[in-house]
C-alpha cells in the first residue's frame, strides 16, 4: 500500500509539473524580479555606498552584512596599497578617537592605544607615505570650526578623508540642557558649508552618535541619555542634508554605527564606548567606502561602479543581438509560408485539401540561431546577476545548520525517488549519474553556506571533487578500452561538451579560462587519457583478449603515466614552463601566473590514474567472470562479499575520522592526493557489493547528475555572486525564500544550457570528416580572433 501511494505521488508530481512548465515559470520570475529591482533602483537610487553607510544587519554575533552589497575584509597590505600617499583626519571626541585607533590598526596591527587621550594623536606609515591624524575637538564649537576652515584655505593641504563627529561632551558639560542643543544646531549650521566645500575635493563623513547603555553609565554621565542623543543626531542630519549644494558635493552621514551599537553596546565596558569588535566593523566599513572603488576587490561590491564593457563583451553582445534578430526573421518567414500552405481550397469542389507538408521543417541555420537566441537571453541574465548592479549581493556566513539541514533534506528527497536500474553492473549509467548528482548537490550546499571555513567539511568535499575526477579516469578509459575509438569526432565531441559553456562565460563575464578551474582539469585529464591510450602501441580490449602480453603492455603505459605525474607534482618549475608557453599561458594563467593551475592540478594528481587502474582491473575481472552482477546477487561469494563490505565500511569511517580531526589545511592537502582514493573505493564497494543496493538508484539525484557540469559552472554567477565569493539576492529580507527562488531559476537555466550544448554539439561537431575539418578550421579562426582581440583589450587596459 505504501509503495502504491509512493508511485502515485511521483506520477502526480511529474504530471502537473514538467520541465517545460518549470522553465516558463522561471522565465516569468526572472522578468518580474528584474522589473522590481529596476524600479527599486530608480526609486531609491543605486548608490550602494548609501546602503553601506546607513543600513545592514548582523550575521551571527560579529559579521556585519550591509544591505544589498558585499563588504570586503581588508588586509594590512591592501589597506596600505589603497591609502598610499594619503592624509586622513579624524576630528572629534573620544568615540572618534576609538574609531581612529581601529582604522590605523588596519594599516598597522601593532599600534597600541596610548598617549594623551584628551589631545591630538598623530600616526604615520613612512613605507606607504600614509598620514593619519586624530584631532581632539570634543565639542562642535568655534575651535572645531576654525580648524575645519583652515583646511578650506588654499595655502593648507586638505586631507583626502575627513571623519568628524561629536555631541556627548556637549550633553555632559551642559547637563543635557535644551540651550546646549540649540547652540549645537547653530554651531553645526556654521560648520556645514565648510564641510560641503571640503567634500568637493575630499571624502567627508559625519559620524552620528551611537546609543548608550544607560544602566552602565557612571554618575557623571547619567545625563547622556538615548533621547538626548537622538535629538542631536536628528539636528545633525537635518542641517547637513538641508543645503541644495549638498546634493552635488555631499557630506556623507555615517549612520550605520548606530545600528551596530544597538546590537553591541550592552557589551561596552562603560556604557558609552563601543566594544572593540564593533569599532573594528566601523573602521572596515570606512575602508570599504573609500577603497572599494580604487582596488575593486571581487568580494567588495559596495561602492563599486558597474565595470565598463570590454571590446570582446561588446562584440558578444552584437553577435547575440544579431542571432536573435536573424532567428526572428527566419521564424517569421517560415511561419508565413506554413500558414499559406496550411489550407489549400479547391476552387472547383469548394473543399479543403490537406497540405503536402504537415509541419514546418527546421533548417540547421534556424536551429543554430534558435540555440544562440536562447543562449543570448541566458547570458543576459548571467551579466545582470554578476556584473550589472541590478540584483543585490550578500556575504556568506557559515553555521552548521545552514549546511547540514539542507543535506538531510535532499537526502530524503533522493530516497523518495528510488527506482530500479535498467542494468545491474558496477557503476552503471544510472548509478554514475546518481553519484554525480548527489555529489553536485552537496558541493552546491557547501558553496552557498560558506562551509569551506569548517575544515572537516572542506576535507570531505575535496573527496567529492576527487570522485568526479575518478569518474573521468574510469569513464574515458572504459570507453577507449572497450570501443577502441580514437577518432577525431569522439575527441571533438567531448571537448565541445566540456568547454562550450566556459568559453562563452569567459567572453561574456570577462574571466580567464582558468577561473572555472574544474573544466580545465577534466579537459587536460581527458587529453592525457587519450594520448596515453592512443599513442603506439594502441592497446584495446579486443587486441588484449588475443594475447595476455598486451595487458602487461598497458600496465607499462600506466606506470609511465604515473612516473610523469609524480615528476610534475614535485617539479613546479617544469610544470610552470610547460603551461607558460603562449597560447597555453592565455588559458591557464590566473593573476599573471600559473601557480593556481599547478595547485589545483597537484591537489588531485593521482585520482584520475586510480580511476583508470580501477577500470582496467574491473573490466579484467568482468571478462574472466569473477564478478556476479545479476539482479539481487552479491558481487562476490557471500563470505568474500561480507569481508570486503566490512573492510570498506571501516575504511570509509576511518577516512572520515581522519578528515574530521584535521587541524591544518596545508598538511591535510598534502596527504589528500594519496589517501582520497581510500574513501572513493570504499564507497564504490559499499554501493555495489550488496545486490539489492546495486539494483536501485535515485532518479532524483540522477536527474541532477546529467546536468552536473552545467550546475557546477552556472553557480559561479547566477546562484552565488561576485564570482562565488557571495550570494545572489533576488528577494531581500527573506533569506530562505530567496535561496528557494534563486535555486529554482538556477536549476532551470542549467538544464536549458545542457540542452543547448547538446543541440549545438550535433551541428558544430558533425560525424562527416570533411565537414568536421571545415568546422575545426572555423573554430581555429574563431580562437585566433579571440586571442587577437584579447591582446588588443589587454593593451588598452595597460
> In whole angstroms, what is the distance from residue 371 CA to residue 501 CA?
13
Determine contact, residues 519/499, Cβ cutoff 8 Å. yes
- Kindly state the cell numbers that stand for 589: 594563467
Convert 106-124 to b/e letters by CB count within 10 Å (16 or more is b). bbbeebeeeeeeeeebebe
DSSP for 78-132 reads HHHHHHTT-EEEEEESHHHHHHHHHHHHHH-TT----S-TTS-EEEEETTTTEEE
> In whole angstroms, what is the distance from residue 569 CA to residue 566 CA?
5
Longest dimension (CA), the chain: 111
> In whole angstroms, what is the distance from residue 597 CA to residue 602 CA?
8
Bridge-partner residues for 91, per DSSP? 135, 164
Q: Given the residues 273, 370, 476, 751, select the one marked as catalytic.
A: 273
Bridge-partner residues for 353, per DSSP? 344
> In whole angstroms, what is the distance from residue 568 CA to residue 597 CA?
12
Strand, coil or helix: what is 163? strand
**Could you tell me where the DSSP H helices lie in 387-417?**
400-416
- Kindly state the cell numbers that stand for 740: 528557494
Determine contact, residues 522/611, Cβ cutoff 8 Å. no
* Catalytic residue list contains 54: no
The owner of cell 564570482 is 723
- Between the two ends of the chain, the Cα-to-Cα distance in Å is 71
Q: Is the four-CA dihedral 478, 483, 488, 489 of positive or negative sign? A: negative
* Catalytic residue list contains 273: yes
* Catalytic residue list contains 768: no
The owner of cell 536527474 is 703
Please name which of 82, 44, 47 lies closest in space to residue 66, comparing C-alpha atoms. Answer: 47
Which 8-state DSSP code applies to residue 540?
A: -
Q: Are strands 56-59 and 63-66 parallel, antiparallel or unpaired?
A: antiparallel
- Kindly state the cell numbers that stand for 180: 546646549
Convert 578-615 to b/e letters by CB count within 10 Å (16 or more is b). ebeeeeeebbbbbeeebebbbebbbbbbbbbbbbbbbb
What angle do helix axes 665-688 and 429-449 make, rounded to 10 degrees?
Answer: 150
Q: Given the residues 40, 54, 94, 277, select the one marked as catalytic.
A: 94
> In whole angstroms, what is the distance from residue 19 CA to residue 22 CA?
5
Please tell me whether the peptide bond between 537 and the residue prior to it is cis, using omega within 30 degrees of 0.
yes
- Kindly state the cell numbers that stand for 87: 592624509
Which 8-state DSSP code applies to residue 215?
A: G
Strand, coil or helix: what is 210? coil
> In whole angstroms, what is the distance from residue 673 CA to residue 665 CA?
13
Strand, coil or helix: what is 18? coil
Determine contact, residues 111/134, Cβ cutoff 8 Å. no
> In whole angstroms, what is the distance from residue 587 CA to residue 580 CA?
9
> In whole angstroms, what is the distance from residue 479 CA to residue 484 CA?
7
Q: Given the residues 21, 127, 218, 270, select the one marked as catalytic.
A: 270
Which 8-state DSSP code applies to residue 593?
A: B
Instruction: Name the residues annotated as catalytic.
Output: 94, 270, 273
Amino acid at each position: 500500500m505504501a509503495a502504491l501511494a509512493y508511485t502515485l505521488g511521483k506520477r502526480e508530481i511529474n504530471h502537473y509539473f514538467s520541465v517545460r512548465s518549470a522553465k516558463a515559470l522561471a522565465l516569468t520570475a526572472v522578468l518580474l524580479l528584474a522589473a522590481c529591482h529596476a524600479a527599486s533602483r530608480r526609486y531609491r537610487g543605486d548608490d550602494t555606498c548609501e546602503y553601506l553607510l546607513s543600513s545592514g544587519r548582523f550575521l551571527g554575533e560579529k559579521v556585519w552584512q550591509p544591505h544589498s552589497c558585499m563588504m570586503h575584509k581588508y588586509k594590512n597590505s591592501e589597506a596600505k596599497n589603497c591609502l598610499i600617499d594619503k592624509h586622513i583626519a579624524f576630528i572629534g571626541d573620544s568615540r572618534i578617537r576609538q574609531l581612529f585607533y581601529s582604522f590605523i590598526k588596519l594599516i598597522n596591527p601593532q599600534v597600541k592605544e596610548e598617549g594623551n587621550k584628551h589631545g591630538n594623536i598623530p600616526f604615520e606609515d613612512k613605507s606607504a607615505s600614509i598620514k593619519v591624524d586624530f584631532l581632539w575637538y570634543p565639542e562642535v564649537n568655534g575651535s572645531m570650526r576654525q580648524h575645519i576652515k583652515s583646511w578650506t584655505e588654499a595655502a593648507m593641504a586638505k586631507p583626502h578623508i575627513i571623519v568628524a563627529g561629536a555631541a556627548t561632551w556637549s550633553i555632559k558639560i551642559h547637563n543635557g540642557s535644551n540651550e546646549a542643543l540649540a547652540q549645537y544646531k547653530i554651531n553645526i549650521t556654521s560648520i556645514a558649508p565648510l564641510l560641503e566645500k571640503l567634500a568637493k575635493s575630499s571624502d567627508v563623513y559625519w559620524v552620528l552618535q551611537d546609543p548608550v547603555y544607560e544602566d552602565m553609565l557612571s554618575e557623571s554621565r547619567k545625563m547622556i541619555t538615548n533621547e538626548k542623543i537622538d535629538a542631536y543626531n536628528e539636528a545633525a542630519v537635518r542641517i547637513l542634508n538641508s543645503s541644495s549644494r549638498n546634493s552635488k558635493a555631499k557630506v556623507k552621514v555615517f549612520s550605520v554605527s548606530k545600528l551596530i551599537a544597538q546590537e553591541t553596546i550592552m557589551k561596552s565596558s562603560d556604557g558609552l564606548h563601543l566594544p572593540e569588535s564593533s569599532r573594528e566593523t566601523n573602521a572596515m566599513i570606512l575602508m570599504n567606502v573609500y577603497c572599494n572603488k580604487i582596488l575593486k576587490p571581487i568580494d567588495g561590491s559596495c561602492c563599486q561602479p558597474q565595470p565598463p564593457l570590454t571590446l570582446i563583451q561588446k562584440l558578444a553582445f552584437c553577435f547575440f543581438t544579431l542571432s536573435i534578430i536573424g532567428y526572428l526573421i527566419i521564424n517569421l518567414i517560415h511561419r508565413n509560408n506554413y500558414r499559406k500552405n496550411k489550407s489549400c481550397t479547391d476552387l472547383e469542389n469548394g473543399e479543403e485539401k490537406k497540405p503536402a507538408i504537415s509541419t514546418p521543417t527546421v533548417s540547421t541555420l534556424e536551429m543554430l540561431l534558435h540555440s544562440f537566441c536562447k543562449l543570448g537571453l541566458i547570458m543576459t541574465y548571467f551579466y545582470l546577476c554578476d556584473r550589472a548592479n541590478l540584483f543585490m549581493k550578500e556575504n556568506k556566513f557559515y553555521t552548521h545548520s545552514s549546511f547540514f539541514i539542507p543535506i538531510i533534506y535532499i537526502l530524503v528527497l533522493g530516497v523518495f525517488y528510488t527506482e530500479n536500474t535498467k542494468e545491474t553492473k558496477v557503476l552503471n549509467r544510472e548509478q554514475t549519474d546518481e553519484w554525480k548528482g548527489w555529489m553536485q548537490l552537496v558541493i552546491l550546499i557547501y558553496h552557498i553556506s560558506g562551509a569551506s571555513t569548517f575544515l572537516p567539511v572542506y576535507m570531505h568535499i575535496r573527496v567529492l571533487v576527487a570522485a568526479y575526477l575518478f569518474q573521468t579516469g574510469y569513464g574515458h578509459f572504459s570507453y577507449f578500452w572497450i570501443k577502441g575509438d580514437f577518432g577525431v569526432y569522439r575527441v571533438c565531441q567531448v571537448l565541445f561538451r566540456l568547454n562550450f559553456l566556459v568559453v562563452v562565460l569567459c567572453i561574456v563575464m570577462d574571466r580567464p579560462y582558468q577561473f572555472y578551474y574544474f573544466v580545465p582539469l577534466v579537459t587536460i585529464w581527458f587529453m592525457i587519457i587519450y594520448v596515453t591510450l592512443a599513442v603506439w602501441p594502441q592497446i584495446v580490449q579486443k587486441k588484449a583478449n588475443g594475447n595476455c602480453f598486451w595487458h602487461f603492455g598497458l600496465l607499462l603505459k600506466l606506470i609511465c603515466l604515473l612516473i610523469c605525474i609524480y615528476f610534475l607534482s614535485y617539479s613546479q618549475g617544469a610544470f610552470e614552463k610547460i603551461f607558460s608557453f603562449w597560447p597555453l599561458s592565455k588559458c591557464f594563467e590566473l593573476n599573471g601566473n600559473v601557480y593556481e593551475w599547478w595547485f589545483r592540478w597537484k591537489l588531485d594528481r593521482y585520482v584520475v590514474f586510480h580511476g583508470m587502474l580501477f577500470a582496467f582491473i574491473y573490466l579484467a575481472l568482468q571478462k574472466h567472470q569473477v564478478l556476479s552482477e545479476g539482479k539481487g546477487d552479491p558481487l562476490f561469494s557471500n563470505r568474500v562479499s561480507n569481508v570486503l563490505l566490512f573492510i570498506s565500511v571501516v575504511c570509509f569511517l576511518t577516512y572520515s575520522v581522519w578528515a574530521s580531526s584535521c587541524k591544518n589545511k596545508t598538511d591535510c592537502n598534502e596527504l589528500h592526493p594519496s589517501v582520497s582514493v581510500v574513501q572513493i573505493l570504499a564507497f564504490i564497494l559499499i554501493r555495489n557489493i550488496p545486490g539489492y543496493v546495486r539494483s536501485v538508484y535515485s532518479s532524483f539525484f540522477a536527474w541532477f547528475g546529467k546536468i552536473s557540469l552545467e550546475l557546477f559552472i552556472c553557480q559561479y554567477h547566477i546562484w552565488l555572486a561576485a564570482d562565488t565569493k557571495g550570494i545572489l539576492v533576488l528577494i531581500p529580507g527573506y533569506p530562505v525564500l530567496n535561496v528557494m527562488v534563486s535555486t529554482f531559476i538556477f536549476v532551470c537555466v542549467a538544464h536549458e544550457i545542457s540542452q543547448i550544448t547538446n543541440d549545438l554539439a550535433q551541428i558544430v561537431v558533425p560525424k562527416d570528416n570533411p565537414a568536421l575539418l571545415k568546422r575545426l578550421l572555423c573554430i581555429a579562426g574563431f580562437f585566433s580572433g579571440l586571442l587577437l582581440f584579447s591582446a588588443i583589450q589587454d593593451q588598452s587596459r595597460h
